[in-house]
Amino acid sequence: MKLLKTLLFIGLLTVALVGGTLVFIHYYTKHNDALVQVPSVEELRIDKAIRVLEDGGFTYEISDTVFRDGVKLNSIVDQIPDAGFEVKKGRKVFLVVNASEVPDVEMPDLAGKASFSQALRILENRGLKLGKRIELQMSEIKDPDSKPVIEQRYAGKDEQIPKGTKIKRNSTVDLVVGVMIEEAVELEGEELPQTDTE
């Protein structure tokens, strides 16, 4: 008899727990609410994107801040769920925002360490651009393909940029390149985007 009462109590408790859980899930997931489409907020400025979401009955959370070239500062670069996805009203939309300013990068150590072709790749990987290529004739250079970087300068200035200096991403850098004496000629027709010789 005692065993029967215990089993009955456990059964009732189980029914109550399962029933309560189902009621909670039904309330929490709002089964009776109609589905709405998530609006597209990518490429919008963060303030406008928030207005669009709130006007549509959505909440939001900024999940990450990144920097992407070619994208407006302080604008949305990604959203989850994607635009057009059908969800319940009030759903949270997670946003990835482009940074509010262009980040700094460290100036690499090119002078005396890299050839001109290597320097171009390193600058590109750091998010920096080549300004002028200034050729310096050097009797020490015997290989016409050597072309070592002698100095790295702020664009349009004679001032050198020390390695490790913080400069804005997409900044332009002038390079002084050593060449053989007979190689120091005007490079007409050579395809070097955004470069000059002096």
**Domains located in the chain, CATH noted:** 33-100 (3.30.10.20), 104-183 (3.30.10.20)
Which single residue is written with the structure tokens 């994107």? 49
Distance in angstroms (rounded) separating the CA atoms of residues 193 and 189:
11
pTM exceeds 0.85: no
List, for residues 51-101, the tens digit of each pLDDT value. Answer: 999 999 999 999 999 999 889 999 999 999 999 999 988 899 999 999 999
Which residue blocks in the chain are alpha helix, DSSP H? 2-29, 46-55, 116-126
Task: Provide the β-strand partners of residue 153.
Answer: 160, 174
pLDDT above 80 (res 28): no
Task: Provide the β-strand partners of residue 163.
Answer: none
pLDDT of residue 1: 65
Top-confidence residue, 157 or 195: 157
Top-confidence residue, 18 or 111: 111
47, exposed or middle or buried, with CB in 10 Å at 0-12, 13-18, 19+? exposed
Q: Letter for the amino acid at 136?
A: L
